[in-house]
Amino acid sequence: MSFAGKVWKLLVGVKDALVLVFMLLFFIALFSILTMRPSPGQVREGALLIDLDGYVVEERSEVDPLAFLISGEAPVGEYRVHDLVRALDGAAGDERIKAVVIDMTGFIGGGQVHLQAVGEAMDRVRKADKPVLTYALGYGDDQMHLAAHASEVWVDPIGGALIAGPGGSNLYYADLLDRLNINARIYRVGEFKSAVEPYSRNSMSEEARENLAGLFGALWEEWQANVKKARPAIELERVTGDPVAWVENAQGDLAEAALDAGLVDKLGSPAEFGERVAELAGEDTWSDAPGSYAKTELAPFLAATTPSRDGKAIGIVTVSGTIVDGEAGPGTAGGARIARILDEALDDDLAGLVVRVNSPGGSVTASEEIRRAIDRYRAKDIPVAISFANVAASGGYWVATAGDRIFAQPETITGSIGVFAVIPTFEDAAADLGVNADGFRTTPLSGQPDLLDGLSPEVDAILQASINDTYSDFLERVGDARGLETTAVDRIAQGRVWDGGTARQQNLVDQFGGLKDALAWTASEAGLEEDGWHARFLGQATGQYDSLIRQLVTGSGEGQRSRRGDLFAMAADQRAQLISRIGSDLEVLSGAQGVQAYCLECPSEPSASRLSTKDAMSLFGQLRSLVAN
């Protein structure tokens, strides 16, 4: 009995210890949530500091706590474009804010539409007679897009600036698939639907090259026009026309070369930059560290600039990222999740609805699910505007056919009206391994699709017919929405991708404008006065654990510190993007997907879910799965 008693006491002790540990963790988490929440009381007189260490995005992706615990890596920082614009507009009218500082040392990038919106907000701050200063170790295209709108552009003397322009290489896997004896069976409609070319070719087709030449040419012209307008003294022709001579003229000193060409205004260390800000915004009375100055950070300032809730509500639903079936997101456009958000708000007495699209498309079934949910608003005579951000192509345009009016920007990438499907089969690979398939069929469809024995001619024909029918449905939806005959839509469709300016000429877009313009139009259609409405984002309540994880690991509510270093480090960062692209391409081939309305040929937006080293290793697992399946 004495032994049993000791065991019992040990078990009770272990139980009590575990209870104490869990209670301690609970109270630590509760305390962290209460103390880490940004407070309006933290706003003080001085500069507004926007430490832009990460991506500018349409919608922040939610942190998966399990993935975080497994990987041990913090998520990369994400900054909603609407938050940045709201903060800058708030700073323009806030007497406490004497200057705005944007630290882009860790800035990774964003789409042209987003960056232009932030740049225009920076212009509004300057019009309020408040200086805007930027600092970075290295300026690339996206960094320069924002910096052009600043009063003073500073760069570290050991850094510099380079302008590359849009474009680059795609990856093609046809030869690899041949070596692996994998047959990529492709079903598509559209002369320009080059989303499937990586699996059928080892180089770009002339049709795809022609399409991308027009698209990239238009985007490059818009970028140059925006930057030159904001910064007239910049010598872009010298920087991009003969970059080698430009750099050699400065004896290889990229910082001096940037200064000489007007890309930057001042060279200085972070401490020297801080001293300059202190001259404009005041000394920091809380710290005597070199380069310190009086400042308020972004999160508490946003907490102090709560948007108005007066008047009727106009809902904004965001379709951001790849459109997929199910409840995925935010950051990924899960069709079921977005349809549910829309249906839950259907009885909220909304005066109107704006659908903000920033997506290259994806699943046809999910796109249609979202389109039907939007259409239920129109059935109730609620005006619906569609606002395109950086990309609204393929499935993103499918969704837009449910709106009353489409707004886009000249830099928007849209169109790609076409559909495809890819099914890998392994009959040749199986035969090489000595595996053969045989059996009995009662009909031509028995046992089909058979990935090991190959698809029968009947199944091939049926799948292509299904793709043709889906394409016809796409044309009909676009034709009904745009008041065009399907033959006219077909001429401008065929999977071709357009810039926003050309899309407007082709009647795929109604007018130029951003989210504010779409909201104003919706309010007008609803018969509301200028001050008789407010915008309400639907379904964007972030879980408390999201910010908690970000702050516990990184010390900020935005994400991992993305200190990329000099221009060589900026170039090395492309490696992660390459790995991410390979993973996406393999997912198209090996993932469980249906018919896709997806713009794989669209320029890739920076993804906040960059692959880590562990993720890269899993790519080999994906390759193995192509054979194992």
pLDDT digit string (tens) for 180-198?
A: 888 888 888 866 667 788 8
Residues 154 and 280 in one domain: yes
Q: What is the pLDDT of residues 1-51, one digit of tens each?
A: 566 666 677 776 777 777 777 776 666 655 555 445 555 557 789 999 999
Q: How many domains does the chain have?
A: 2
Average pLDDT in the 472-484 region? 92
- The count of other CB atoms within 10 Å of the CB of residue 204 is 18
Answer yes or no: is 493 within a domain.
yes
Residue 375's CATH number: 3.90.226.10
For the entire predicted model, the pTM comes to 0.84
Provide the domain limits for residue 257. 42-163+231-304
Asked if residues 161 and 254 have their Cβ atoms less than 8 Å apart, the reply is yes
**CB count, 10 Å around CB of 147?**
31
The CB-side HSE value for 23 (13 A sphere, CA atoms) comes to 6
In a domain, 568, yes or no: no
- Given a contact cutoff of 8 angstroms between Cβ atoms, the answer to whether 538 and 342 are in contact is yes
Residues 114, 81 contacting (CB under 8 angstroms): yes
Residues 108 and 75 occupy one common structural domain: yes
HSE-CB at 531 with a 13 A cutoff on CA atoms is 0
Window from 323-332, 351-360, 546-555 with minimum mean pLDDT: 546-555
- Mean pLDDT within 314-337: 91
SS3 of residue 186 by DSSP: strand
How far apart (Å, rounded) are the C-alpha atoms in residues 423 and 188? Answer: 12
User: Does position 68 have pLDDT exceeding 80, yes or no?
Assistant: no
Residue 273 resides in a domain: yes
**Rounded to whole angstroms, how far apart are CA atoms 351 and 330?**
24
562 or 100, higher pLDDT: 100
Based on the fold, state whether residues 342 and 292 are members of the same structural domain.
no
Tell which residue, 215, 594, 184, has the closest CA to residue 419.
594
* Count of beta carbons in the 10 Å neighbourhood of residue 345: 19
Q: Which of 280, 304, 328 is the last residue of a domain?
A: 304
**DSSP H/E element including 512:** strand 511-512
Domain identity same for 417 and 291:
no
Contact at 8 Å (CB) between 12 and 64? no
Q: Does residue 444 sit in the same domain as residue 295? A: no
Q: With left for phi above 0 and alpha for psi between -120 and 50, is residue 30 left, alpha or beta?
A: alpha
The secondary structure element, H or E, covering residue 14 is: helix 2-36
Distance CA(199)–CA(197), nearest Å, equals 5
Q: Which amino acid is at 223?
A: W
On the CB side of 497, CA atoms within 13 Å amount to 35
Q: What would the two tokens of residue 263 be?
A: 């890309």
Reference 501, options 413, 592, 566; nearest CA is: 413
CA dist., res. 456 & res. 454, Å (int): 7
Range of weakest confidence among 318-322, 373-377, 579-583: 579-583
